[in-house]
Structure 1
């Protein structure tokens, strides 16, 4: 694996993560009704840090494999969607649009996982925590949107 490639993918992940610093959940989100399966606050930065590291590592390894183009295109799409969700949901408080984005992100990461798995199943395994977290996050987005009518912008 090339360290430079890893750092490029990690930098893209840091850019995505920076939206969480700019658009914090804040009092608006704290005041919303949330389901019982909502993770504790400390779990979010821990989970995303692990996900971004594993995803960047997998992408850097996959980039060196023949036939990696579709997987890398899906990686680029998922990081763009990931970057977009936070300002839409927390910044603009558009929960319905956030739901569309996160559902699209879930489909994209599912497709990415399959594409990577086909190239190297061990690297595909590294994306399973991302997929699992997105299932929870998508359910959370849905329930927060459903359980808080009128709370969107």
Structure 2
């Protein structure tokens, strides 16, 4: 394990996560009609912390492989796309635009997962919960957009 490389990926992840503290759920979000399967607000930072650590660890594994340009490009794409959703949803309050942003994120995470798997199965598996969570979040975004 290369702790310095892992720390770099964690720094990128925490930078993306910072948008959550810049644009936290407010009264507007509380007043939205949400489905019964909406998780409690306290769960989001816990889930994202776990996902970011797993993703950074997976990225560190891939960064140490040869021929890693495409997987690293996908990882950079997904972390950039991840950074956009919160300001669009909670900051701009644009549910439809947030839906597009989360679909872009979903594609980026899927690309990351597939290309990671090609180099390292453990790294690929570590991205599976991330794709599941983004799929769930996309379904939630879609439901909130359609009902509001």
TM exceeds 0.5? yes
CA distance in 1, matches of 2:141, 2:9: 26
Superposed, 1:2-151 pairs within 5 Å as 2-148=2-148
In structure 1, runs of 5+ residues without a counterpart are 149-153
TM-score (norm 1): 0.94
Please give the secondary structure, in 2, of the residue aligned with 1:39.
Answer: coil
Structure 1 segments, 4+ long, off by >4 Å, are none
1:41 to partner: Cα distance? 1.6
1:104 to partner: Cα distance? 0.8
Structure number with higher helix proportion:
2
How many residue pairs match? The answer is: 148
1:9 to partner: Cα distance? 0.5
Partner of 1:151: none
Please give the secondary structure, in 2, of the residue aligned with 1:34.
Answer: coil
In structure 2, runs of 5+ residues without a counterpart are none
1:39 to partner: Cα distance? 1.2
Please give the secondary structure, in 1, of the residue aligned with 2:37.
Answer: coil
